[in-house]
Structure 1
Amino acid sequence: MKSDQAAITEHLVTLRDYIRWALSEFHRHQVYFGHGHVSAWDEACQLVLNAVDLPWDTDPVVLDARLTPAERLKVLGYVHQRAELRRPLPYITGEAWFMGLPFHVDERVLIPRSPIAELIDQGFEPWLRPGPVSRILDVCTGSGCIGIACAFAFPEAEVDLADISADALDVARRNISRHELDDRVRACQGDLYAAIGSERYDLIVSNPPYVDADDLASMPEEYGHEPALALGSGPDGLDVTRRILREAAEHLTEDGLLVVEVGNSEVHLMSSLPEVPLIWVELENGGNGVFVITAAELRAHCHLL
């Protein structure tokens, strides 16, 4: 291995050289791009630039700069993790972006990628009732990215981040502090709503585990680095979502709103709850499987849940 490294570092000297080599390694090992980039070029650029402590939007003229021997070895280590170990890029760099905000991530949490970002950006219009939003709950929060983004979108609101995983909440707390939101955002440990007792919210948002058994068994290797607890949810992917739906009305204000992402398990939910008026959001920026339902509709159809 050391002789291979020596040969590579002897012949590859510039950032451009290492980006090209990373691309070749990605292709040779057939890596999967689904945790931040869909382009091999973008991912190779970010990986190499991050290894030498340069931002992703560095002036391209820098690509012809030569790397120090230590930097070359660090790039090799990053590429090894990404191409051979199939570790997602955000876990290598320790950072992912969601709605233009940076978040610390590691293998204790999912990598942020929820299409709920589009709804946050729109203030959940037209489904969220007009007026101020006082309290928001992010259930199955993981890194806290959705709840923290909501805190920025609704600066008057207090936000609770709930998760069953103490490890995930350690990451969420780090992100709360990173964004200086300790005065408005808190992390609460417990199984779904058990984390928050009898509290009620104007808005409950959740990206719960929703991968069904078949999809879980066939996912690319990269997903094996993410916590299994945050991915799979029974044969049809809806074990957790059904509980979120059944208990949500008890934790929403009279005119509150529930927003949940279920991804490809959308078809299972439609077929199992055909009479429940879930509104499936058409997402302009891609993605699928996000529904909204009001507290009033949840209460009117509680016998079906």
Structure 2
Amino acid sequence: MITTRLRTLRDHIRWAVSRFHEEDLYFGHGTDNAWDEARQLVLGGLHLPYEMADAYLDCRLEDEELVRVQHLLKRRIKDRVPAAYLLGEAWFCGMAFIVDERVLVPRSPIAELIEERFAPWLAGEPQRILDLCTGSGCIGIACAEVFPEAEVVLADLSFEALEVANQNIERHLHDDRVYTVQGDGFAGLPGQRFDLIVSNPPYVDAQDFADMPPEYQHEPALGLACGDDGLNLVRRLLAESADHLSEKGLLIVEVGNSQVHVEALYPEVDFAWLTFQNGGHGVFMLSAEQCRAHQALFASRV
């Protein structure tokens, strides 16, 4: 139970940090430490900006505000619900996205590539972009933001995820050139080609999935686990990507810890493994030419 002596924003943040450590919570959904998580939850729960000056942290809460903040903290501690789900919002590429338990919490290092407009690898302005396994739509919508002339398709197997993605399309006013398609992999996109295909598919292998902290159990398993080596879907994407890339198109795929499985499965392929200033790993890039050259190899290992 939260003591009634907690009255200010600072009181609640300090108390939450102590309890988060005591309960050994896991931080991997937008923050990596107890202080940032507590600040995000307390301030976000009261619709206050995270960057608010520290002087305001000594403001006392009204009774109804106490009830709301303490309810959020209790759920974070007792139920291990990620803060983004409790707040219904997550930030990606400097943009706020609606999220709930129908989609993964946005956290991909691909954000860094988007902010850099995929330089220096992308040749010119892409006319058509595909965000495959889109979830909340954050990757594709952020791409639409930095490439204002591009048509962007958000594709996912999950109808529920696409409901969230459509909310985010509307929220960011991109419904004139961003739209959703339901289908398994490329199945909903027959004959369509793209200058840039970006995918953060399910890629967690069976061992990693079994070892995940409780916070991840609130996320849809469909967006995380994908077979013993995590590559059930990635194998299919590689086999079919050449048929959906324009002549000079790029394929960028996040596979996280399953990078080791990709390298073991395709030792003949010269994947470009991208590096990140802000942390993250396991993202590869292939050109359309490489995808065409290795198409038979990829097909043989599906």
TM-score tier (shorter): over 0.9
- Number of the residue aligned with 1:32: 26
Is 1:179 paired with 2:172? Answer: yes
- Number of the residue aligned with 2:187: 194
- Number of the residue aligned with 1:135: 128
Is 1:114 paired with 2:108? Answer: yes
Is 1:215 paired with 2:208? Answer: yes
Q: Is the 8 A contact 2:205 2:227 kept in 1?
A: yes
Q: Shift in Å at residue 253 of structure 1?
A: 0.7
Aligned counterpart in structure 1 of residue 35 of structure 2, from 21, 37, 41: 41
Q: Shift in Å at residue 132 of structure 1?
A: 2.6
Q: Shift in Å at residue 99 of structure 1?
A: 0.7
Paired amino acid for 2:210: A
> What is the alpha-carbon distance in structure 2 between the residues aligned to residue 27 and residue 115 of structure 1?
26
Correspondence list, 1:216-235, <5 A: 216-235=209-228
- Number of the residue aligned with 1:126: 120
> What is the alpha-carbon distance in structure 1 between the residues aligned to residue 43 and residue 24 of structure 2?
21
Q: Deviations over 1:153-212 (max 9, x none)?
A: 111100000000000000000000100000010011111111222111001000000000
Aligned residues: 298
SS of 1:193's partner is: coil
Correspondence list, 1:255-270, <5 A: 255-270=248-263
Percent of aligned pairs with the same amino acid: 57
- Number of the residue aligned with 1:168: 161
Q: Is the 8 A contact 1:201 1:251 kept in 2?
A: yes
- Number of the residue aligned with 1:61: 55
Q: Shift in Å at residue 233 of structure 1?
A: 0.6
Q: Is the 8 A contact 1:141 1:163 kept in 2?
A: yes
Aligned counterpart in structure 1 of residue 137 of structure 2, from 122, 141, 144: 144
Aligned counterpart in structure 1 of residue 88 of structure 2, from 86, 94, 107: 94
> What is the alpha-carbon distance in structure 1 between the residues aligned to residue 277 and residue 57 of structure 2?
34
Is 1:240 paired with 2:233? Answer: yes
Q: Shift in Å at residue 125 of structure 1?
A: 2.0
> What is the alpha-carbon distance in structure 2 between the residues aligned to residue 304 and residue 64 of structure 1?
62
Q: Which runs of 4+ in 1 moved over 4 A?
A: none
Paired amino acid for 1:136: I
Q: Shift in Å at residue 149 of structure 1?
A: 0.7
SS of 2:197's partner is: strand
- Number of the residue aligned with 1:153: 146
Paired amino acid for 2:58: D
Higher mean C-alpha displacement, 271-280 vs 97-106: 271-280
- Number of the residue aligned with 1:73: 67
Paired amino acid for 1:85: D
> Structure 2: where are the runs of 5+ without partners?
none
- Number of the residue aligned with 1:16: 10
Q: Shift in Å at residue 52 of structure 1?
A: 2.2
Q: Shift in Å at residue 81 of structure 1?
A: 1.1
SS of 1:237's partner is: coil
Higher mean C-alpha displacement, 220-229 vs 111-120: 111-120
> What is the alpha-carbon distance in structure 1 between the residues aligned to residue 265 and residue 135 of structure 2?
27
Q: Deviations over 1:252-279 (max 9, x none)?
A: 1111110000000001000100112211
Normalised to the residue count of structure 2, the TM-score between the two structures is 0.96
Q: Is the 8 A contact 1:210 1:238 kept in 2?
A: yes
Paired amino acid for 1:176: I
> What is the alpha-carbon distance in structure 2 between the residues aligned to residue 72 and residue 171 of structure 1?
30
Q: CA RMSD in A?
A: 1.0
- Number of the residue aligned with 2:297: 304
Q: Is the 8 A contact 2:240 2:295 kept in 1?
A: no
